Each structure stands twice: as structure tokens, then as C-alpha cells.
């Protein structure tokens, strides 16, 4: 769990604070990325190349159980041969202070293009996954993750 | 499928007699002449497999009143669909006669007078009578008893005994398998201790440890019944770690995991299962969506949202069952198979009318034994109520109004927040408010009643978040439960709007002034999911309020203005 050791987290700060029943989602106002910031990051890497749908399986919970360590699994359909393989996969978030989450590089020797990690999400937001193929084409997938204050379950 | 109709005919005749005779002892006696145990049990059997389903008993060992909701709004695809029907619409859809025993069991209007006619429902000794009768009729080798969870929480005796009372009772009932939700608020160690030693299987395909993502419980179990392999897959409440304190089971994560359910189904079929059942605690709307996406489930036994329906809901090849809550009902499904596949399903929602069903003596003795250590406390009268006190409804319930009044007065708060729990008994006007009645509405393992300051903006944010948890048009984003109950503050809600714009018109009721976003208000509440919450347990707050008030009267609550339904 690479993202757990974040020292004094936002959530624990709030938990210790005044709102015992329901933690505020945003606490102190800080600057967050947005959809534009994510697109700007993608342009930095790949210019204005077209982003096709499909081939990416982005497995992520609809609702985060713990915003500090949200699991994400990606798998990109590919034969992973010299001629046809996935070169790179990037994951972005449009509601965190910084849009970049993680980048993976693949070679045909990987056998398959899949990876799993956990990420911290500050609030409800979209996760964007971009895969770069060996022929230079790009694929994109997007999923919304809800980060909620919780409680009150029946 | 003649069984339910026959019951209705029998009971509507009974209702006609009782209405003609007027209410009171004569009407009740007349009704019971026709409303017999045999009527409740009557069933045209089929096939070689019988599944009995109980769920959301919430640790209610004794008969009680439980009023079904008068407001139960569906959104998105569920709008206007069962189970989101109440009162006249519900009766019209399921062909239930007004004033009948089924109307009393399943709808809310005229509850007080019908309660006097038909008496209390539930009681695990009555449930045991029905279960034993079905086993005797069909043979033990054909009957599977499945428990949908929320069984171990909801009473003083279950809280004090850490659910040992319920485990003993459900073991004596020869439960075959169960799944969980509130069970987990006993803490991971206690749940594992019970699951590892109980006579029944504790199933949950969707609980994994956070470190290795390995299953914490067995995902499924295959039972051989009447020569047929029946696979039961467990599905715990996917939102347990959000709805309840995650710190009580910090190494577990949940989620819906529908691809994993599909794998379970496929593996079970490969092993030769002719019947595949999802024993689910997802909530009805989540399961209705799930049934369109997971292939090969014959039956989903739903839970969590406490819906009782006297008919099956079909989604493709899957049937969904809603067996209600608090021991009010036992569902029976007879399943016939041919060529390794389901060929016929017959269903009846058996209402557990405690006055019509003879208590099972062995179970009654066990219940008396497990309650004995607490019996003196439970029967202690704290006060009385002049009003009907109930819990269910999307926006408020009069028992919650009482709890909010208690927090406002005992904690000297301007605003009170009480969670939208769907469990807890109903009291009739004139009833005593006993320690048992108070704890039936409050018995949880995180009961502290906090007192804090919150800004108007924070209060609105809470309401928006909870509303989205109920009224998100995609059921996979819903967590179950009802709106948080508010004392001292009114608001307007447009349930059709998106998150962030449903709530408006926050009003401080005492002054009639609008709630100001930047202003701080003193707020009391309970059932915080945060560790280390300070304050007295909520049952003491309610007891002190009721003792001081002596006779409770709850005024009709019109502080929430609802649109967009």
C-alpha cells in the first residue's frame, strides 16, 4: 500500500477536529486540478493525438471505502508482441491537487499489460487512464469515483 | 401459485368480520378464528427443493409492532416500481385488500386500528414453528434455511451478549447459511470468532483483506437438497465500510464486485449446481441492477432495505425476493428442476402473526433463557407515549423525532441529527416506553451522543451527501438507509436534482430564521462513524428525556418539504 504513509492526513485531521459525526469533505479550501488540467497533462505527453475508446479495463470502486487508499486495477487488451504491444499506461485524477497519479512502462516481455495500485483521492472525481500502443495510437478510459462522508447506513 | 390468493381470501373474510364487529376484543377474536396457522402455512408444493428465507431480524426475539413506510421513494429506473410503492398503490399492485391481515402486515395507513385487530408480528418462537412445520411437511433433506443478515444487532440482549443470544437462536433454528452487515459492527475479531465456530456457514464473496486482497470468508457453499445441488453465494453489504465505522474492521474492504459474483456463478454451474442463489445484503435496487448484469442467478434473496413483498420481481431469468424485516415474515420458495436447470418456482411470503401461530416450546424456552440476564431491565417502564412512534419513512419518523427531542433537551443543542436507520420497533398510542423499546431503537456498538459546533454550510453538505446516498439515480451509488433525521431545523429537498443542488431552504425552526452558511450552530448527534467520539450513550439521553417528560407526545412533522418525486 504505497500511499498509506502520508503522515497527518486530511481525514485524520478532520476526525480529530470538531465534526465528530460527519467529516467535511473539503476541509480548508485548496487548489484542485480539473478536467482541463488532466487534458493538459495528456497533451504534454502526446500532443493532440486522438484518444480512442475501448481496450482498457479500468477497475475501480464506484464509491471509495477509504479515500486515502482507493484501489485501482488496469488491464489493456493486447497480444504484447514486438509488433503490437502496450508501451505505457498513465493514470490521472481530475480532483486532486495534482492530476498525475502513476505512469507504467511495458515491454513485450511483460506478457500482459496490467497493473494495480492504490491512490489517495481528496474528493469525488474522475479517474482517467491513457494507454499508448506500440504503433503510436492512444486509448482512453474514464471512471467516476465517489468519496463520501459516510455514516447513517440502514 | 394459488397459495397466496387462498390466504388472502381467508383473511379478507376475517377482516370483513372484524370490521363488521368493530374493533377491539370481539373483532380481534373473530379475525383469529379465520387467520390460522394452517392458512399461513398453506402452500402447493413443487419440486424437491424448498428455500426458507429470513432477513433483517435486527435481533428481535419477541413479537413486536413494526410499521412499514408511508414514504418510500424510488429514483431512476426504480421510480414507481415495487418495492417503492406504499399504502393504496402497494395494495393495488399486489392485490391486497384494505383492512386485511396482509394490509396490516405490509402497509402503513390505518396502522393503529389494524394493530388492535391483528396483534403483534414476529417472535423467533413463532418463526421456529413455521420453519419446523415446513421441514416436517417437506422432509429435512429438502429444506434450506437462509439468513440474509442484520440478525445480530438491534436489541439490548444482543448488544450485551455480543450477539450470543442471536447466534444461539439461529443455531437452534438450524440455519444453513447467513451473510452480514450490522454483524460487522461487533468488530472483526468477534465476527470471525462466531463465523469460525458456528453451526451455519457465514458467506461473503465480496469481503477481502486490504493487504493481500484475499477472501476473508467463504464465498459460497453448495448444499445437496432433494437430490439437487443448490449453490448459495454470500454478498455482504457492499457499503459497510462507508455506512458503519470502518475502524471496527480496518483490514477489510467490501464493494459490489459483480465480476467476482459472475465467477462464483460460473464455478458453481461447472460443479453441477442446478440452482444458484445469491444470498444478498445489497439492498433491493442494487440487486435489481445486478440481476441485469450478472448472468445465471436463479434467485436473489434481497435484504438491507427491509422491503416485504408478497410477490416475486422478475429480472430476465432471475427472481428477486423481498422478505421484510424484524421477523415479520418467512419467505418460502419451492423450486423444481429438470435437466439440471430450474423449471418452476413457487413463492409465498408467510406473515408471522404472533397471535395466530403457536409458539414453538423449545425455542420459547431458549429465548427466555438468553433474555433472562436482562429481563428485569428490559421490562422497566420509563414513560408512556400518547403518539404512534415508528421509524420507517424516507425523511422522518416519530420515534426519531423523540430521539431528536431528547438530544435537543438533554444536550442543550440547537440542532439534532439522528441517523436514518430502518430498524427499531413501533409503539402504539398508550403503550409504555420500556427500556426494551428505547434500546430496540438505539442498541449499537458506537452509541455516543456528541455535542459540537457546525456551520450552516457544513450542515448543508451533510444533507447533500446523505441525500445522494439515497437518491442517486444509479443504485450502485446508493448505500441504503433513509435521510438523516433533523431536530430543530427544516429544509426543502428536490430528490430529482443532482448532488449539491437537492437541498435548500435550511431554516432554524425555533427562530424561523434561515440557517446562515458561515454561522456556527450547536449540534448534537449520535452513531458517528469516527473513532473516539465523546458523549453519553444515546439510550441514556433518550431515557433521561422520557423519564423527565413522563408522557410523550410527538406533533406531526412537516419540517421537510419534498419535491421532485
Can you name the residues that pair with B313 across neighbouring β-strands?
A: B320
- Asked if residue A41 belongs to a domain, the reply is yes
Answer whether B472's CB lies under 8 Å from B242's CB.
no
| Average pLDDT for B264-291 | 98
pLDDT at A31: 80
Mapped onto helix, strand or coil, the DSSP state of residue B321 is: strand
Alpha-carbon distance of B392 to B423, in angstroms, equals 8
**Are B47 and B335 a contacting pair, CB within 8 Å?**
yes
Which residues face A1 on adjacent strands? none
Cβ separation B453–A18 shorter than 8 A: yes
Residues in A closer than 8 angstroms to B256, CB to CB, are 62
The pLDDT value recorded for residue A154 is: 53
Q: What are phi and psi of A135, to 5 degrees?
A: -85, 5
Contact A153 B243 (CB under 8 A): yes
Three-state DSSP class for residue B258: helix
Residue A120 located in a structural domain: yes
pLDDT digits (tens, 9 = 90+) for B343-361: 999 999 999 999 999 999 9
For residue B13, give every residue at least 6 positions away whose Cβ sits within 8 Å of its Cβ, in sequence order, or none. Answer: B34
For the beta carbon of residue B531, count every other beta carbon within 10 angstroms.
14
What per-residue confidence (pLDDT) applies to A149? Answer: 79
Cβ atoms within 10 Å of B36's Cβ, excluding its own: 16
- Flag whether pLDDT at A19 surpasses 80: no
Give the C-alpha separation, B220 to B277, whole Å.
10
CA dist., res. A105 & res. A90, Å (int): 9
Q: How far apart are the first and last CA of chain B?
A: 34
Percent of chain A with pLDDT over 90: 73
How far apart CA B508 and CA B465 sit, in angstroms, is 20
Q: At what angle do helices B284-293 and B258-270 cross, to 10 degrees?
A: 60
Q: Name the residue range of residue A74's domain.
A: 35-147
Residues A40 and A104 in one domain: yes
| Rounded Cα gap, residues A71 and A1, in angstroms | 9
Tens-digit pLDDT profile for residues B284-338 = 999 999 999 999 999 999 999 999 999 999 999 999 999 999 999 999 999 999 9
- Tracing cell 415474515 back to the chain, one arrives at B329
For chain A, how many structural domains are there in total?
2
* Closest chain A residue by Cα to residue B257: A61
Assess whether A46 and A20 both reside in one domain. no
- Which residues are paired to B563 by β-bridges? B494
Determine the pLDDT at residue A152. Answer: 61
Residue A81 and residue A21 share a domain: no
Evaluate if residue B553 carries a pLDDT over 60.
Answer: yes
Residue B93 has pLDDT above 90, yes or no: yes
A48 lies within 8 A of chain B by CB = no
How many Å apart are CA B490 and CA B531, to the nearest integer?
Answer: 29
Contact check, Cβ <8 Å, B481/A153: yes
| Lowest-confidence pick of A110-114, A138-142, B102-106, B475-479 | B475-479
Task: Answer yes or no: is pLDDT of B160 > 50.
Answer: yes
Task: Answer yes or no: do A26 and A80 share one domain.
Answer: no
Rounded distance between C-alpha atoms, residue B415 and residue B488, angstroms: 5
Cβ neighbour number for residue B389 with a 10 Å cutoff: 27
CB-CB contact of B128 with B358 (8 Å): no
Interior CA angle at A106 toward A101 and A108, to 5°?
165
Query: Residue A60's domain is classified under what CATH number?
Result: 2.60.40.2470
A61 touching chain B per CB within 8 A: yes
| Ordered alpha helix ranges (H), B95-184 | 101-106, 111-118, 124-138, 156-160, 164-172
The alpha-carbon radius of gyration of chain A (Å, integer) is: 17
CB of A66 within 8 Å of a chain B CB? The answer is yes
* B276 vs A14 pLDDT, higher one: B276
* CA separation for the pair B290, B475 (Å, rounded): 9
pLDDT, average across residues B522-538: 96
Per-residue pLDDT at B264: 98
Show Cβ contacts of residue B302 under 8 Å, excluding neighbours closer than 6 positions: B55, B148, B280, B282, B283, B284, B287, B320, B321, B322, B323
- Confirm whether A81 is domain-assigned: yes
A152 lies in some domain: no
Helix-strand-coil split of chain A, %, nearest 5: 15, 35, 50
Contact B462, B523 (CB under 8 A): no
Kindly state whether residues A69 and A115 are assigned to the same domain: yes
Chain A residues in contact with B422 (beta carbon < 8 A)? 154
Q: Tell me the helices (H) and strands (E) count for chain A, helix number first.
A: 2, 8
Residue B34 is predicted with a pLDDT of: 66
Same domain, A58 and A18: no
Asked if residue A69 has pLDDT above 70, the reply is yes
Residue A3 in contact with partner chain B when CB distance is under 8 A: no
Give chain B positions within 8 Å (CB) of A23. 530
Cβ atoms < 10 Å from Cβ of B239? 31
Give contacts of B 175-214 with A, CB under 8 A: 181, 210-211, 213
- Separation between Cα atoms, residue A21 and residue A34, nearest integer Å: 29
B50 forms beta bridges with B143, B334
Predicted confidence band at B214 (pLDDT cuts at 50, 70, 90)? very high
Mean pLDDT of B177-188: 98
B242, B391, B526: best to mutate for the A interface, most A CBs within 10 A = B242
B354: number of Cβ within 10 Å: 21
Q: Assess whether A39 and A26 both reside in one domain.
A: no
How many residues would you count in chain B? 565
**Contact yes or no for B301/B496 (Cβ under 8 A):** no
Whether the per-residue pLDDT at B232 is higher than 90: the answer is yes
The minimal CB distance from B466 to the residues A62, A65, A152 is found for A152
Give the model's confidence band at A4: pLDDT under 50 very low, under 70 low, under 90 confident, else very high.
very low
Claim to verify: residue A53 and residue A24 sit in the same structural domain: no
The grid cell for A57 is 479495463
Contact B530 A20 (CB under 8 A): yes
- Percent of chain B having pLDDT more than 90? 92
Q: Which residues in B lie closer than 8 A to residue A151 (C-beta atoms)?
A: 243, 419, 466, 527-529
Q: Could you tell me if residue A25 is inside a domain?
A: yes
Rounded mean pLDDT of chain A? 83
The mean pLDDT value for B271-295 works out to 98
Q: What is the mean pLDDT of residues B107-129?
A: 96
Per-residue pLDDT at A30 = 66
pLDDT at A1: 31
Q: Is the pLDDT score of B29 beyond 70?
A: no
Q: Which sign, positive or negative, has the C-alpha torsion B408, B413, B417, B418? A: negative
**Touching check for A28 and chain B: CB below 8 Å?**
no
Mean pLDDT to the nearest integer, B162-190? 98
Can you say how many angstroms the Cα of residue B156 is from the centroid of all Cα atoms in its chain? 17
Please give the pLDDT value at position B19. Answer: 36
Q: For residue B401, report the phi and psi dihedrals to the nearest 5 degrees.
A: -60, -40
Q: What is the mean pLDDT of residues B530-549?
A: 97
Nearest residue of B to residue A116, measured between CA atoms:
B213
**A19 neighbourhood in chain B, CB within 8 Å:** 452, 454, 458
pLDDT at residue B419 greater than cutoff 70: yes
- Helix B124-138 vs helix B361-371: angle between axes, to the nearest 10 degrees? 150
- The number of angstroms, rounded, from the C-alpha of B240 to the middle of its chain's C-alpha atoms is 15
| Residue A151: band (very low, low, confident or very high) from pLDDT cuts 50, 70, 90 | confident
Which strands make up the sheet holding B489-494, listed edge to edge? B513-514, B503-508, B489-494, B560-563
A26 falls in which pLDDT band (50, 70, 90)? very low
- On whether both A110 and A125 belong to a single domain, the answer is yes
pLDDT at B171 over 80: yes
CB-nearest partner of A151 from B210, B243, B458: B243
pLDDT-derived band at B467, boundaries 50, 70, 90? very high
* Alpha-helix runs per DSSP H in B37-82: 37-41
Asked if residue A154 is part of any domain, the answer here is no
Q: Is residue A106 part of a domain?
A: yes
Any chain B CB within 8 A of the CB of A2?
Answer: no
pLDDT at residue B1 tops 80: no
Return mean pLDDT, chain B. Answer: 93
> Is the bond preceding residue B106 a cis peptide, omega within 30 degrees?
no
Same domain, yes or no: A133 and A98: yes
pLDDT at B398 over 60: yes
Tell me if A153 is assigned to some domain: no
pLDDT in tens, B128-151: 999 999 999 999 999 999 999 999
The answer to whether residue A7 scores a pLDDT higher than 50 is: no
Which neighbouring-strand residues pair with B147? B54, B178
A142 shares a domain with A74: yes
Half-sphere exposure of B245 (CA within 13 A, CB side): 22
* pLDDT score at A75: 97
**What ipTM does the predicted assembly reach?**
0.81
CA dist B245 → A73, A151, B239, B275, B322 (Å): 26, 8, 11, 35, 27
Give me the phi and psi of A119, to 5 degrees please. Answer: -135, 155
pLDDT for res A150:
76
For residue A141, the distance in angstroms to the closest alpha carbon of chain B comes to: 18
CB spacing of A154 vs B242 below 8 angstroms: no
| Contact assignment for B477 to A63 by CB distance below 8 Å | yes
Q: Do A40 and A86 fall within a single domain?
A: yes
Amino acid at each position: 500500500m504505497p500511499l498509506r504513509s502520508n503522515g497527518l492526513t486530511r481525514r485524520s485531521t478532520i476526525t480529530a477536529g470538531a465534526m465528530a459525526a460527519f467529516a467535511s469533505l473539503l476541509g480548508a479550501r485548496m487548489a484542485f486540478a480539473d478536467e482541463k488540467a488532466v487534458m493538459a497533462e495528456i497533451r504534454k505527453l502526446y500532443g493532440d493525438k486522438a484518444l480512442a475508446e475501448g481496450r482498457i479495463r479500468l477497475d475501480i470502486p464506484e464509491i471509495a471505502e477509504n479515500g486515502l487508499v482507493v484501489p485501482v486495477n488496469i488491464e489493456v487488451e493486447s497480444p504484447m508482441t514486438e509488433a503490437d504491444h502496450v508501451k505505457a499506461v498513465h493514470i490521472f485524477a481530475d480532483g486532486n491537487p495534482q492530476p498525475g497519479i502513476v505512469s507504467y512502462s511495458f515491454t513485450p516481455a511483460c506478457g500482459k499489460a496490467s497493473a494495480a495500485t492504490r491512490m489517495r483521492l481528496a474528493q469525488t472525481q474522475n479517474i482517467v487512464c491513457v494507454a499508448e500502443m506500440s504503433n503510436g495510437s492512444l486509448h482512453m478510459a474514464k471512471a467516476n469515483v465517489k468519496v463520501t462522508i459516510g455514516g447513517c447506513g440502514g | 401459485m394459488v397459495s397466496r390468493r387462498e390466504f388472502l381470501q381467508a383473511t379478507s373474510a376475517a377482516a370483513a368480520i372484524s370490521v363488521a364487529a368493530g374493533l377491539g376484543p370481539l373483532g380481534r377474536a373473530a379475525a383469529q378464528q379465520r387467520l390460522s396457522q394452517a392458512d399461513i402455512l398453506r402452500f402447493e408444493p413443487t419440486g424437491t427443493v424448498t428455500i426458507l428465507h429470513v432477513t433483517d431480524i435486527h435481533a428481535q426475539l419477541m413479537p413486536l409492532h413494526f410499521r412499514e413506510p408511508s414514504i418510500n421513494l424510488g429514483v431512476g429506473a426504480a421510480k414507481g416500481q415495487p418495492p417503492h410503492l406504499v399504502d393504496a398503490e402497494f395494495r393495488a399492485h399486489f392485490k391486497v385488500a384494505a383492512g386485511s391481515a396482509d394490509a396490516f402486515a405490509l402497509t402503513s395507513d390505518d396502522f393503529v386500528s389494524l394493530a388492535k385487530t391483528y396483534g403483534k408480528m414476529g417472535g423467533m418462537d413463532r418463526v421456529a414453528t413455521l420453519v419446523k412445520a415446513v421441514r416436517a411437511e417437506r422432509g429435512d433433506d429438502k429444506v434450506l434455511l437462509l439468513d440474509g443478515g442484520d440478525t445480530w444487532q438491534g436489541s439490548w440482549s444482543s448488544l450485551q451478549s455480543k450477539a450470543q443470544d442471536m447466534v444461539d437462536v439461529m443455531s437452534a433454528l438450524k440455519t444453513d447459511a447467513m451473510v452480514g452487515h450490522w454483524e460487522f459492527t461487533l468488530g472483526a475479531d468477534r465476527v470471525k470468532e462466531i463465523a469460525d465456530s458456528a453451526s451455519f456457514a457465514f458467506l461473503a464473496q465480496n469481503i477481502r483483506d486490504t493487504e493481500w486482497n484475499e477472501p476473508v470468508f467463504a464465498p459460497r457453499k453448495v448444499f445437496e437438497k432433494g437430490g439437487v445441488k443448490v449453490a448459495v453465494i454470500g454478498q455482504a453489504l457492499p457499503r459497510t465500510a462507508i455506512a458503519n465505522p470502518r475502524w471496527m474492521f480496518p483490514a477489510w474492504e467490501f464493494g459490489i464486485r459483480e465480476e467476482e459474483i459472475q465467477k462464483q456463478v460460473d464455478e458453481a454451474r461447472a460443479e453441477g449446481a442446478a440452482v444458484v442463489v445469491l444470498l444478498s445484503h445489497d439492498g433491493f435496487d442494487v440487486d435489481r441492477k445486478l440481476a441485469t448484469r450478472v448472468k445465471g442467478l436463479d434467485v436473489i434473496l434481497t435484504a438491507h432495505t427491509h422491503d416485504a413483498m408478497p410477490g416475486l420481481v422478475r429480472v430476465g431469468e432471475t427472481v428477486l425476493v423481498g422478505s421484510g424485516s424484524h421477523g415479520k415474515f418467512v419467505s418460502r420458495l419451492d423450486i423444481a428442476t429438470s435437466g439440471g436447470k430450474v423449471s418452476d418456482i413457487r413463492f409465498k411470503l408467510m406473515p408471522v402473526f404472533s397471535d395466530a401461530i403457536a409458539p414453538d416450546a423449545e425455542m420459547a424456552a431458549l429465548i427466555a433463557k438468553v433474555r433472562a440476564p436482562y429481563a428485569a431491565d428490559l421490562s422497566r417502564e420509563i414513560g408512556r407515549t400518547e403518539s404512534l412512534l415508528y421509524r420507517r419513512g424516507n425523511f422522518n419518523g416519530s420515534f426519531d423525532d423523540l430521539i431528536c427531542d431528547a438530544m435537543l433537551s438533554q444536550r442543550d443543542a440547537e440542532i439534532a441529527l439522528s441517523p436514518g436507520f430502518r430498524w427499531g420497533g413501533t409503539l402504539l398510542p398508550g403503550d409504555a416506553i420500556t427500556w426494551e423499546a428505547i434500546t430496540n431503537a438505539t442498541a449499537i456498538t458506537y452509541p455516543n451522543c456528541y455535542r459540537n459546533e457546525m456551520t450552516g454550510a457544513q450542515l448543508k453538505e451533510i444533507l447533500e451527501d446523505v441525500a445522494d446516498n439515497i437518491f442517486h439515480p444509479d443504485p450502485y451509488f446508493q448505500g441504503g438507509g433513509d435521510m438523516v433525521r433533523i431536530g430543530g431545523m427544516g429544509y426543502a429537498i428536490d430528490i430529482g436534482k443532482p448532488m449539491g443542488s437537492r437541498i435548500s431552504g435550511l431554516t432554524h425552526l425555533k427562530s424561523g430564521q434561515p440557517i446562515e452558511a458561515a454561522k456556527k450552530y450547536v449540534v448534537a448527534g449520535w452513531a458517528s462513524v469516527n473513532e473516539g467520539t465523546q458523549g453519553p450513550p444515546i439510550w441514556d439521553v433518550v431515557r433521561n428525556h422520557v423519564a423527565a417528560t413522563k408522557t410523550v407526545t410527538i406533533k406531526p412533522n412537516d419540517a421537510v418539504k419534498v419535491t421532485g418525486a
